[in-house]
Amino acid sequence: MTRFPRDAPKRKVIKALEALGFEVIREGNHISMSRTNPDGCKTSLTLPNHKEIKSSTLLMILRQAGITREEFIEVFDEP
């Protein structure tokens, strides 16, 4: 099994989150993303607009968005 990324490149993190159904809403000092769930409610998340996202920050973002490590790693490692 692939390890969880330590200092993940921002572009790759955004690409993985888009594969999980999120879309970029706004970009500034932070990046706002949102997705509509099957039950109709929306899930929003905010990423720091840094070159790389630290693993601890990424884990907190995934926890708040209800995404497991395994789900994220699966789409993160796709070419």
Phi, psi (rounded to 5 degrees) for 57 = -65, -45
35 domain-assigned:
yes
41 domain-assigned:
yes
Confidence label for 3 from pLDDT (cuts 50, 70 and 90)? confident
25 domain-assigned:
yes
Beta-carbon contacts of residue 37 (< 8 Å; ≥ 6 apart): 43
27 domain-assigned:
yes
Residue 56: the pLDDT is 94
| Tens-digit pLDDT profile for residues 14-46 | 999 999 999 999 999 999 999 998 899 999 999
The CATH number of the domain holding residue 34 is 3.30.920.30
61 domain-assigned:
yes
Handedness of CA 15, 10, 74, 59 (dihedral sign): negative
pTM, to two decimals: 0.90
**Residue 16 corresponds to which amino acid?**
A
Residue 1: the pLDDT is 55
Strand order in the sheet with 30-36: 23-27, 30-36, 42-48
Q: Domain residues for 40? A: 7-76
Tokens 């607009």 map to which residue? 49
